[in-house]
């Protein structure tokens, strides 16, 4: 399940709780589009803002709605104690894989993080995906650490935060990491704007934020890249330039995609947990214009 | 209560729970030393790693042990929903002030943070201290935002992360911030190595990590600086250079002070929540040597 398009849906919510109907509709759209896997409760799915009970409930909902499409959920938490409990909860409702970010408040050392993966990987019975995204976890993996973690039992994939945008540098990056990890561990790209470059450079999977709302175009890019048609993948990604520009303008994909989900009627505003908010005013109009111009839906 | 030495004790804990006896001993030492206030469940007190129930229990313990010394606790959480609940809990057990950090996972905007302070300040009945420490919250306040927040009801102090280490630049920094905030709002320095410089530059308080374990020397520095004896404050701080060097070497004060608390017998190892750990091996020996050389206790 760690190849192809892994689509990361939002978890629409407000101060009263999760909008379960909206979440289920988002998942159903991914199933209908035939994504390769679903990455629920990722950063995009606001796992960090939900209680243990809420996370268990959302995991149950996605497994039910996924109709057999393999589901991964994040078990990230500041404390290893809580990670282990979340892993139990997730496995109990039938998820097929666990995404594990080294979430930090006090700065973590490379050894702290290795020990955490060592303990968790020894205590789970489904595969693990390593989550590397300093933008949210504030932890920087060395490649040496990736190599050590990838040797642990149950580790099957690494979600990397991006690649250089020059294709030959992207390839060097992927080759360098690949040399350090066992062949049964895949590499998946995140950072949607870099996905085509990443897959063209040898990444096996795309862990995608935009794919959680716009699975059809994300699947077209994934299929082109992974079937060897690098030019078509690049062309399709290039056609989304106005979307990538919005991601840059608003500090990442998360709020843009959440705003788009509201605009498209999947959910209502507010759909993010305060203090987070979707984009209002002129920015919202820009997003609506890009959705329309690109015929995203 | 937002002037003088506010001492921030550790919350010793392991995977089974909080070491309540060790925590109480730490608080009792602060009371005996006559610190001006106690900042429990700060970053030093590992608030971010504890459940709501654990935080409420620790808040109750510190108020009981404080014997009238005013107590502040952090109500930080990723979600405003949880911040409001934590504020209720803390007020219910009798804390005199609330420390509010803009904790982030997804990056926050200046407006997100203002709205959060606006909502919380309108819903509490004890004073608030604004917590500005990008090293743990990953949020950078602009001075303009500090000015807006300081005008809100109940806001009484700002805990700043440090000042430039050149005295005239430190003074410029404090004067610049002071101009933007009402006179009833104090400025407190954190970053222990910069405390003497900060107070000599006009800060009213020291929100101190080392003061949570070594209150006597921290009080001596505070009394010298706030009584106008800048030279004596600087001299005392200078005498602690080996401690400041350890803080730099180990990425901050937190793990050094936690290791020192173990070495001094206040608690046993492990005393931090995994994946965090105190310092082992050669580093631990270095810390023991510095404690002995400086006669810290």
| Predicted pLDDT at A238 | 98
Residue A291 has pLDDT above 90, yes or no: yes
> What was the pLDDT predicted at A66?
98
**ipTM of the complex as predicted:** 0.96
| Interchain proximity B49–A105, CB inside 8 Å | yes
By Cβ distance, the residue of B49, B115, B274 closest to A275 is: B115
The pLDDT of residue A150 is: 98
- Measured CA to CA in angstroms, residue B265 lies from B20, B210, B258, B268 at distances of 14, 16, 11, 7
Contacts of B275 in chain A (CB under 8 A): 79-80, 102, 108, 112-113, 115-116
Smallest CA–CA distance, residue A274 to chain B, in Å, is 5
pLDDT in tens, A82-130: 999 999 999 999 999 999 999 999 999 999 999 999 999 999 999 999 9
> What is the predicted pLDDT for the residue at A221?
98
The pLDDT of residue A110 is 98
Quote the mean pLDDT of chain B: 98
Work out the minimum CA distance from B167 to partner chain A, whole angstroms. 29
Tell me if A47 sits within 8 A of A87, measured CB to CB: no
Q: Kindly determine whether residue A116 and residue B274, on different chains, have CB atoms separated by under 8 Å.
A: yes
Q: Per residue in A243-268, pLDDT tens?
A: 999 999 999 999 999 999 999 999 99
Task: Indicate the pLDDT class of residue B1, thresholds 50, 70 and 90.
Answer: confident
Residue B269 has pLDDT above 90, yes or no: yes
Tens of pLDDT, residues B98-152: 999 999 999 999 999 999 999 999 999 999 999 999 999 999 999 999 999 999 9
Residue A33: pLDDT band (50, 70, 90) is very high
Q: Quickly list H helices, chain B.
A: 20-33, 52-65, 80-92, 110-121, 134-137, 143-150, 167-180, 195-200, 215-226, 230-239, 241-249, 254-263, 281-293
B136/A106 touch (CB, cutoff 8 Å), yes or no = yes
Average pLDDT of the residues in A226-235: 98
| A contact test, residue of B106, B139, B253 with most A CBs within 10 A | B106
Across the range B244-264, mean pLDDT stands at 97
- Residue A250: its pLDDT value, please? 97
pLDDT in tens, B43-87: 999 999 999 999 999 999 999 999 999 999 999 999 999 999 999
Question: How does pLDDT run across B153-167, given as a tens digit for each residue?
Answer: 999 999 999 999 999
Contact B274 A108 (CB under 8 A): no
Q: Please tell me the distance in Å from A11's CA to the nearest CA on chain B.
A: 14
pLDDT value for A295: 93
β-pairing, A17-18 with A37-40? unpaired
What pLDDT, on the 0 to 100 scale, is given for residue B101? 98
Over residues A156-174, the mean pLDDT reads 97
pLDDT of residue B149: 98
Per the listing, tokens 């999947």 go with: A266
> A251 vs B107: CB contact, 8 Å cut-off?
yes
- Under CATH, which number does the domain A4-228 receive? 3.20.20.70
| Confidence at residue B147, expressed as pLDDT on a 0 to 100 scale | 98
Q: What is the pLDDT of residue A1?
A: 87
Per-residue buried b or exposed e for A246-269, using 16+ beta carbons within 10 Å of the residue's own CB:
bbeebebbbbbbbbbbbbeebbeb
Tell me which CATH homologous superfamily contains domain B4-237: Aldolase class I (3.20.20.70)
A286 with A255: CB under 8 angstroms?
no
Task: Look at the block and give the residue holding tokens 């990442």.
Answer: A252
């Amino acid at each position: 399940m760690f190849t192809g398009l892994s689509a990361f849906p939002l978890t629409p919510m407000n101060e009263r709780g999760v909008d379960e109907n909206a979440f289920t509709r988002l998942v159903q759209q991914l199933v209908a589009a035939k994504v390769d896997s679903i990455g629920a409760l990722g950063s995009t799915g606001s796992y960090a803002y939900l209680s243990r009970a809420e996370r268990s409930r959302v995991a149950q909902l996605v497994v039910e709605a996924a109709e057999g499409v393999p589901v991964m959920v994040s078990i990230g938490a500041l404390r290893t104690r809580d990670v282990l409990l979340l892993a139990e909860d997730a496995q109990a409702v039938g998820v097929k894989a666990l995404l594990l970010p080294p979430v930090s408040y006090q700065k973590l050392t490379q050894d702290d993080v290795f020990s955490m993966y060592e303990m968790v990987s020894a205590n789970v019975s489904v595969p693990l995906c390593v989550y590397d995204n300093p933008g949210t976890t504030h932890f920087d993996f060395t490649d040496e650490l990736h190599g050590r973690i990838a040797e642990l039992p149950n580790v099957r994939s690494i979600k990397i935060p991006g690649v250089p945008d020059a294709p030959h540098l992207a390839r060097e990056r992927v080759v360098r990491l690949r040399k350090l990890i066992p062949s049964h561990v895949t590499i998946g790209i995140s950072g949607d704007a870099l996905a085509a470059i990443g897959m063209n450079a040898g990444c096996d999977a795309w862990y995608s934020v935009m794919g959680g709302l716009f699975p059809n175009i994300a699947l077209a890019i994934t299929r082109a890249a992974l079937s060897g048609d690098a030019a078509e993948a690049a062309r399709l990604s290039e056609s989304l330039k106005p979307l990538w520009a919005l991601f840059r303008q608003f500090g990442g994909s998360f709020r843009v995609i959440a705003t788009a989900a509201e605009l498209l009627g999947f959910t209502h505003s507010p759909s993010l947990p305060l203090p987070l908010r979707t984009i209002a005013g002129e920015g919202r109009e820009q997003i609506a214009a890009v959705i329309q111009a690109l015929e995203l839906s």
